[in-house]
């Protein structure tokens, strides 16, 4: 009896962490994306101490979330499978790719190309699996309802992940000149693929807006990726333009990349007021509760990426008016990062008891799997 009680105590002490892993949102790596890109922005514009602090936070976040993901894959495969089958959530897995690449870009800027290369290769392998597996899983949904109702801004994480690989490849060119032609071609090719994906996915999002009723719950933070996807496309384009002009792929695409990158920057800027209006409709007009959700980092990342992309493209295109905009947007992104952290901590402070939800067969139990009365009676026994 004593051994049983001790085992129950150990299981109960593990349940909160296991429950958090079991219900971990696929987009949770957006925290690494947001923190890493603000670290890059502050590395370029200052203050340097903020950049170093956020770099450490992003690196620890990537490592910790990576371990949590491996545990989830080992212990809660049915939950992962459910996320893969959910059109509104599955594209969140692309944050793994983008998070690794964004951190790699920051490390490259600090003079650590080997770390960038390792992260980029791991991200490329995951991207290859997701870029064919995710759309295939949606297309081959025999006998299921249409996935159109599940279309949201998170689908554009596919674009963000693809452009993050393009940017990482560009950052590796100076460190590995012998592979410059291959890396530059890889970057330019992925940049073009991501542009086409953006156009296709924006069309799907607009179709969803016009055909499926919109509610405050569905009009969430991921729609800010409409702007974030343009911003990282501009950054990748700017990095392609900084590659040696002697490279064949740079000679062939430079004019198009520069012109279309500016168009994307303008379109991303156009999105900002629209997204603010949609946010006001959600939280002010419809009184949607302002509580923490992992997708909130999908608001912070676009703001930080807009800062870095504006600065990078302004320099390569010799547009001096862009630097003041980048400096202003850096502090907007920092304020947004702090706001999300505060909302997260506030949720932790007043975190209620987890609701009852049985675990899948063969999986560890999690908190909330017994009703309050059952818990009370077990304590009495």
Higher pLDDT, 367 or 295: 295
Average pLDDT, the chain: 88
At residue 368, the 3 state secondary structure works out as: coil
pLDDT at 367 over 60: no
Give per-residue pLDDT as tens, 185-244: 999 999 999 999 999 999 999 999 988 888 898 888 999 999 999 999 999 999 999 999
Q: Which residue has the higher pLDDT, 162 or 350?
A: 162
pLDDT band at 39 (very low <50, low <70, confident <90, very high): very high
Residue 158: band (very low, low, confident or very high) from pLDDT cuts 50, 70, 90 = very high
What span, in angstroms and rounded, lies between the C-alpha atoms of 132 and 196?
16
Q: Which of 36-50, 56-70, 153-167, 340-354 has the lowest mean pLDDT?
A: 340-354
> What pLDDT score does 59 carry?
96
State both tokens at 363: 């999986």
**Token pair of 158, please?**
């596919």
Percentage above 90 pLDDT, the chain: 74
Residue 32 CB: number of other CB atoms within 10 A? Answer: 29
Task: Kindly state the tokens that stand for 150.
Answer: 């599940």
pLDDT band at 372 (very low <50, low <70, confident <90, very high): very low
pLDDT higher than threshold 80 for residue 145: no
pLDDT of 373 reads 40
d(CA 116, CA 105): 6
Dihedral sign for Cα 331, 333, 339, 341, please: negative
pLDDT at 361 (0 to 100)? 44
- Please determine, for residue 132, whether its predicted confidence score (pLDDT) is greater than 70: yes
Give the pLDDT score at 110: 87
Q: Measuring CA to CA, which residue among 152, 277, 113, 295 is closest to residue 221?
A: 295
Q: Mean pLDDT over residues 57-85, rounded?
A: 94
Query: What would the pLDDT profile of 307-342 be if each residue is shown by its tens digit?
Result: 999 999 999 999 999 999 999 999 999 999 999 999
Two tokens, residue 157: 């994480």
What is the predicted pLDDT for the residue at 19? 86
d(CA 68, CA 212): 35
Q: Sketch out the chain's domains with CATH numbers.
A: 12-139+146-351 (1.50.10.150)
Section 127-153 average pLDDT: 85
Tell me the DSSP string of 318-360. Answer: T-TTHHHHHHHHHHHHHHHHHHHHHHHHHHHHTPPPPPP-PPP
pLDDT at residue 142 in the model:
57
Q: What is the pTM of this model?
A: 0.87
Spatial separation of the C-alpha atoms in residues 218 and 322, rounded to whole Å:
34
Q: With 90 as the cut, is the pLDDT of residue 176 above it?
A: yes
In the structure, what pLDDT confidence band is assigned to residue 173 with cuts at 50, 70 and 90?
very high
Closest Cα partner for 262 from 287, 237, 289, 227?
237
Q: What percent of the chain has pLDDT over 70?
A: 87
Q: Is the pLDDT of residue 4 over 80?
A: no
Which residue, 90, 33, 15, is CA-closest to 375? 15
- The model's pLDDT over 84-113, given as tens digits with 9 standing for 90+, comes to 989 999 999 999 999 999 999 999 988 899
Give CA–CA dist 44/38, Å, rounded.
Answer: 10
- Residue 348 confidence (pLDDT): 84
């Amino acid at each position: 009896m004593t051994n049983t009680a001790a085992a129950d105590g150990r299981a109960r002490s593990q349940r909160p962490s296991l429950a958090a892993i079991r219900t971990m949102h696929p987009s949770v790596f957006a925290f690494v994306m947001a923190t890493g890109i603000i670290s890059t922005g502050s590395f370029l514009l200052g203050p340097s101490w903020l950049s170093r602090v956020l770099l450490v936070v992003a690196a620890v976040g990537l490592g910790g979330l990576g371990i949590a993901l491996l545990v989830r894959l080992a212990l809660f495969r049915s939950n992962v499978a459910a996320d893969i089958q959910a059109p509104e959530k599955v594209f969140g897995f692309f944050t793994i790719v983008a998070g690794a690449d964004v951190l790699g870009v920051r490390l490259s800027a600090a003079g650590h190309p080997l770390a960038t290369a390792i992260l980029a290769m791991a991200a490329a392998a995951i991207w290859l699996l997701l870029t064919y597996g995710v759309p295939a899983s949606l297309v081959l949904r025999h006998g299921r309802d249409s996935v159109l109702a599940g279309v949201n801004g998170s689908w554009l994480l596919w674009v963000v992940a693809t452009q993050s690989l393009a940017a990482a490849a560009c950052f590796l060119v100076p460190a590995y000149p012998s592979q410059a032609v291959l890396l530059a071609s890889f970057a330019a090719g992925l940049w073009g693929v991501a542009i086409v994906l953006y156009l296709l996915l924006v069309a799907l999002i607009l179709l969803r807006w016009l055909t499926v009723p919109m509610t405050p719950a569905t009009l969430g933070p991921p729609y800010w990726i409409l702007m974030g996807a343009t911003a990282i496309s501009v950054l990748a384009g700017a990095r392609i333009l900084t590659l040696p002009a002697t490279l064949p792929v740079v000679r062939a695409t430079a004019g198009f990349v520069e012109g279309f990158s500016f168009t994307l920057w303008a379109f991303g800027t156009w999105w900002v007021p629209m997204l603010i209006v949609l946010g006001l409709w959600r939280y002010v007009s419809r009184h949607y509760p302002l509580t923490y959700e992992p997708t909130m980092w999908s608001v912070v990342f676009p703001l930080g990426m807009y800062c870095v992309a504006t600065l990078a493209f302004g320099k390569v295109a010799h547009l001096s008016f862009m630097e003041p905009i980048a400096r202003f947007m850096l502090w907007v992104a920092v304020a947004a990062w702090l706001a999300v952290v505060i909302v997260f901590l506030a949720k932790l402070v007043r975190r209620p008891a987890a609701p009852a939800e049985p675990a899948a067969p063969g999986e560890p139990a999690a908190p909330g799997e017994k009703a309050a009365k059952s818990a009370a009676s077990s304590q009495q026994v």
